[in-house]
Amino acid sequence: MSETDDLHLGTTAGQLSLRAIERYAGREALVAGDRRLTYRQMGERISQIMQALRARGLGRGKALCQLGSNRPETVMLRIAATLLGIRYTALHPLGAVDDHAFIIADSEADALAVDPHYAERGAALAARSPQLAHVLGVGPCNVGADLLAEADGFAPAPLWDDARPGDILGLTYTGGTTGRPKGVVHRHRTSVNSVLMMMAEWEWPREVRILVVTPLSHAGGALVAPTLVKGGTVHLQEGFDPDRFLDCIVRERITVTWLVPTMLYRLLDHPRVRELDLSSLELVIYGASPMSPARLREALGVFGPVFLQLYAQSELPMTVTTLNTWDHDPTHPERLSSCGFPVANVQVALLGEDDEEVPVGEVGEICVRSPLAMDGYWKRPEETAAALRGGWLHTGDMARRDQDGYLYIVDRKKDMIISGGFNVYPKEVEDVLTHHPAVAQAAVIGVPDDKWGEAVTAVVVPKNGAKVTAEELVALVKEKKGSVQAPKRVEFADAIPVTAIGKPDKKALRARFWGESARQVN
């Protein structure tokens, strides 16, 4: 590499953390229950963990999988691995054991680090993963050596960074809803770009006190880096309990949080949410799955104009479009159905089946060019070529664009229903159903039908104490969207199944009707 290339390298993801530790040494960095760590204390512990990992021969070019809970050690181990140049992969705590075993093997992991809370699963994974050179407990447990005890044997030392901006930072595995999970390859420069874009585009409060209740292995973890860069405090909770969540907001004067729509729905239906002083909240970020516009209007009435929606995916981490707080304007109700406007440094095109851009107002696939884009899928050249064809990253999400440039996702390409030869986008039907005052949630799928090919079928969760008939809901959709989109069948349920990261699990819903068929079109 030439000196000119070095001149324009930029920074690594680890150097963002180093800067924060040096700049905000005396501020509070991590809080979990009664534990409160300053940036200085966090840095000292990261140094000890780095030395323990290095003593085991784990450094640049090695790979580590971590099965961690929402605790400070999970954050610190991830930063330590990043600074050492270790290729990092987070295992979702609610993921399947088979998927975890596959990821460990597929990612060519040298080490597995397991939180004591998941010791039983960790032991099962270690037994199924003979290629692992190191199995480590992040604290005392019956899974391998205690990494934290080993770290205690080292005195805190100045932190260092062995990584390069072009190194692979880690692999993020997709949910695996259509087969085996795929490892998305991101380099340090991708992560740095993501953090800088989040800081530039999002409306961060002056004092950042963020409450993270979603797993650190996913979006919750991605919010740690920008918070640290801004000198904020990360408050960690394991799992989402509405009462515990609300109590923390009041007690700690939380200013920022991240929620998936199903969590927000639970809060809106909680009896205490309208009784407490939640005025400290200045920014509530939501995403991961579509939000019902009707429930979003309800949320604006409860929490105020504090909502920011992001649209992204594993292949394009954290922010492709944003619907900022000022876009959540009840006088423009159509905007509440939008996923927002493309952020700076991102090109978005809506492409048709011929990979040509569709006219304004028509539906096309969201395709992106950006420094955020993945390098590809780990060890999957054919799928990488398909996803990156034509110089665009093809997201698989279908959307239309309005005259002002706002995007409206109509559905995942694979979720589109073809009924009687017509395309039906489930999200458009779901938005109508959840507009009914008696409906809390709705999920729409296609099921095999001899007459229609696929019949539009709605699974509806009524609000507590509310009553509505299937006939009313069918009539409502027919009035708003026409007879093609109207459900041929409506089922009522107490809840809609969700995936490990809180998205409606349409695979589970379809399984009732499609059985073991891999080809879920009819």
CA–CA distance, 28 with 39 (Å, rounded to integer)? 6
State which residues form the domain around 491. Answer: 416-514
Residues 125, 264, single domain; the answer is: no
- The pLDDT, as a whole number, for residue 5 is 66
Clarify whether residues 114 and 228 are in a common domain: no
In a domain, 273, yes or no: yes
Domain count, the chain: 3
Residue found by looking up tokens 């397991």 in the block:
114
Indicate the residue among 365, 395, 413 that finishes a domain. 413
For residue 284, what are the β-bridge partners? 257, 307
* pLDDT of amino acid 179: 57
**57 & 157 share domain:** yes
Strands 453-462 and 439-449: antiparallel
Can you give 299-366 as a three-state secondary structure string?
HHHHHCCCEEEEEEECCEEEEEEEECHHHCCCCCHHHHHCCEEECCCCEEEEECCCCCECCCCCCEEE
pLDDT 10s per residue in the chain (522 long)? Answer: 444 567 777 899 999 999 999 999 999 999 999 999 999 999 999 999 999 999 999 999 999 999 999 999 999 999 999 999 999 999 988 777 888 999 999 999 999 999 999 999 999 999 999 999 999 999 999 899 999 999 999 999 999 999 999 999 999 998 543 457 899 999 999 999 999 999 999 999 999 999 999 889 888 899 999 999 999 999 999 989 999 999 999 999 999 999 988 889 889 999 999 999 999 999 999 987 767 788 899 999 999 999 999 999 889 998 899 999 999 988 888 899 899 999 999 999 999 989 999 999 999 999 999 999 999 999 999 999 999 999 999 998 889 999 999 999 887 777 778 776 667 878 888 989 999 999 999 999 988 876 677 789 999 999 988 999 999 999 999 888 878 789 999 999 999 988 766 778 888 888 877 665 433 444
What are the start-end ranges of the H helices in 177-308? 188-201, 219-222, 224-229, 242-252, 261-268, 293-303
Buried b (16+ CB within 10 A) or exposed e, 281-310: bbbbbbbbebbbbbbbebbbeebeebbbbb
317, 452: one domain: no
If asked whether residues 103 and 172 sit together in one domain, one would say yes
* Total-model pTM: 0.84
Q: Tell me which of 154, 186, 218 is where a domain ends.
A: 186
Give the per-residue pLDDT at 225. Answer: 96
Q: Which of 385, 413, 441 is the last residue of a domain?
A: 413
What does the pLDDT read at residue 501?
65
pLDDT score, position 422:
67
Q: Is residue 107 part of a domain?
A: yes
Of 502, 215, 488, 200, nearest in space to 372 by CA: 200
Residues 312 and 355 in one domain: yes
Q: Is residue 32 part of a domain?
A: no
CB 292 within 8 A of CB 434: yes
Q: What is the CATH number of the domain that holds 494?
A: 3.30.300.30
**Coil vs helix vs strand at 73:** helix
